Homo-oligomer: A and B are copies of this chain.
């Protein structure tokens, strides 16, 4: 019921109090009987490293499997690395096959083999089917728990067959119809099963034009198919047309969430797995890479300024104003960059409309660049009283904003064509361009016009 979340909040509160006072027996009791596994996982994610380890150790053995599947990949492999192969095999016994596969794929090959060997034959066979596909493919995302029926039986037989199950796999909104060779023929939506005459055969009722996923399709393609056709689950087939599993919307939601995360984090040079509560040293190392890459950009900009040392020495106002030119270009460019990266993710940008898009951005750059140039040169004139410097900054602003906006549009398109991630590399490339063009045009024009 709705009060659940209120209760969970109150429980979380008393748990935090118990944790702080060191009342571990009480913590253990709340963790294992008071909270849903997903809330326990959330609590662990929201805690600093030491508390995380402590909390995980207090979780009952038989709840570990349910809790761990809600943790981030990073934390999963962290906790799993402390366990024996048998313990991991026990823990995964009740989990969805695709979640187990994801978890095992993060462990060293040797450990994975050991865990697979300690499983029973059926579980191992299922897992190996999934692990044969890349983690980010439909095959890596699928489950193997599909209920299949033959086309020539009646719905009445299907209903009786279903009643032999204790439960149905989660999110079973359709059954897969296959022939004797396990080749996929169509789907029998549960909703049709419920409204149709039980004497009809599966063949008469089934749908053959539904969306089928190829096991090798990329997960982001799968997400698009689910989103565009409002699917709850879809069958997955291999290259020979045989049914190998099904994908459910809950796993697709994770893909969608991760995609949104990816652009946001990449644009700040952060890893997808970057964790708000990772140990400081680990985070420090990851972030340093990005800082050093940006240091190159900064020194490139400094070198450009260095070329005009003599000019600055004579007109120190240039040093005061030059960051304005560079930063306005950077902001205008990053707006375009973000928009194009998002357009690419939505599949809106194609060869058919690039030219129109570029013409539009040049037009916007012209309008906004001119307006900003007027305002900035007016303020500059009021501040320094020098019409030449005002003219120079106006020209430099127009030049830099136009360059930066074009770069913001062109860079992600070029990068994507070359297989470079625009969300990661785009912003640093754009900053370099807007700094170099900004300082070069402003100081260069000043040298020509004012001196």
Interface residues of A (CB under 8 A from B): 1-2, 4-5, 16, 38-39, 42, 45-48, 70, 159, 162-163, 165-168, 170-173, 190-197, 208-214, 225-230, 232, 237, 249-250, 252-253, 256-257, 259-261, 263-265, 267-270, 274, 276-277, 280-281, 283-284, 287-288, 290-292, 294-295, 297-299, 301-302, 305-306, 309, 312-313, 316-317, 319-324, 326-328, 331-332, 334-335, 337-343, 346-350, 352-353, 356-357, 360, 363-364, 367-368, 371-372, 375-376, 379, 431, 435
Question: Which residues of B are found within 8 Å of A195, using beta-carbon distances?
Answer: 162-163, 165-168
> Within the complex, which residue of B213, B299, B316, B348 is in contact with A309, where a contact is CB–CB below 8 Å?
B316
Partner of A320, one of B47, B229, B306, B332: B306
B253 pairs with A264, CB closer than 8 A: no
Complex formed: what's the CA distance from A194 to B38 in Å? 27
Whether A301 pairs with B323 at a CB distance below 8 angstroms is yes
With beta carbons under 8 angstroms apart, the residue of B168, B301, B368 that contacts A191 is B168
A343 to B48, CA, bound (A): 13
The residues of B that contact A340 with a CB separation of less than 8 Å are 276
Question: Closest residue to A309 on the B side, CB-wise?
Answer: B316
Chain B residues with CB below 8 A from A376, complex form: 295
Let me know if B162 and A194 touch, CB within 8 A: yes
CB distance from A99 to the nearest CB of B (A): 11
CB distance from A379 to the nearest CB of B (A): 7
Q: Which residues of B contact A309 (CB under 8 A)?
A: 316-317, 319-320
In the complex, which residues of chain B have a beta carbon less than 8 angstroms from the beta carbon of A192? Answer: 167
Q: Is there contact, CB below 8 Å, between B2 and A360?
A: no
What 8 additional pairs, Cβ within 8 angstroms, besides A193-B194, A268-B339, A284-B364? A168-B195, A268-B337, A277-B360, A284-B363, A291-B328, A302-B323, A313-B316, A323-B326
Q: Is the CB of B371 within 8 A of A288?
A: yes
Please, which residues of chain B bring their CB within 8 A of the CB of A228?
A: 38-39, 42, 70
Residues in chain B near residue A208, CB distance under 8 A: 1
In the complex formed, the residue of B with least CB distance to A384 is: B306
B287 touches A232 (CB 8 A): no
- A278 — nearest CB in chain B belongs to which residue? B360
CA distance A328 to B166 in the complex (A): 60
Query: A289: shortest Cβ distance to chain B, in Å?
Result: 11
Smallest Cβ distance from A37 to chain B, in angstroms?
Answer: 10
Cβ-defined partner of A38 (8 Å) among B4, B162, B229, B352: B229
- Of the residues B70, B168, B379, contact of A194 by C-beta under 8 Å: B168
Closest partner residue, chain B, to A318 (CB atom)? B319
User: Cβ of B328 and Cβ of A294 under 8 Å apart?
Assistant: yes
Complex CA–CA separation, A322 to B321 (angstroms): 12
Among A210, A230, A276, residue most surrounded by chain B Cβ atoms (within 10 Å): A276
Establish whether residues A305 and B323, one from each chain, have CB atoms under 8 Å apart when the complex forms: yes
Q: How far is the CB of A303 from chain B (nearest CB, A)?
A: 8
Check if B327 sits within 8 Å of A298, measured CB to CB.
yes
Given the interface pairs A162-B195, A348-B45, the reply to whether A261 lies near B312 with Cβ below 8 Å is no
Given A212-B1, A287-B364, A302-B321, residue A171 in contact with residue B276 (CB < 8 A):
no
Task: Give Cα A188 to B351, complex, Å.
Answer: 50
**Given A194-B163, A227-B257; A268-B48 close (CB under 8 Å):** no
Q: How far is the CB of A178 from chain B (nearest CB, A)?
A: 14
- A291 B368 Cβ-Cβ under 8 A: yes
Give A436 Cβ to nearest chain B Cβ, in Å.
11
B338 touches A268 (CB 8 A): yes
A159 to chain B, nearest CB (A): 7
Q: Which residues of B contact A257 (CB under 8 A)?
A: 227, 256, 260
Which residue of B42, B250, B335 is within 8 Å of A347 (Cβ)? B42
Say yes or no: A46-B287 contact (C-beta < 8 A), given A5-B225, A264-B260, A331-B269. Answer: no
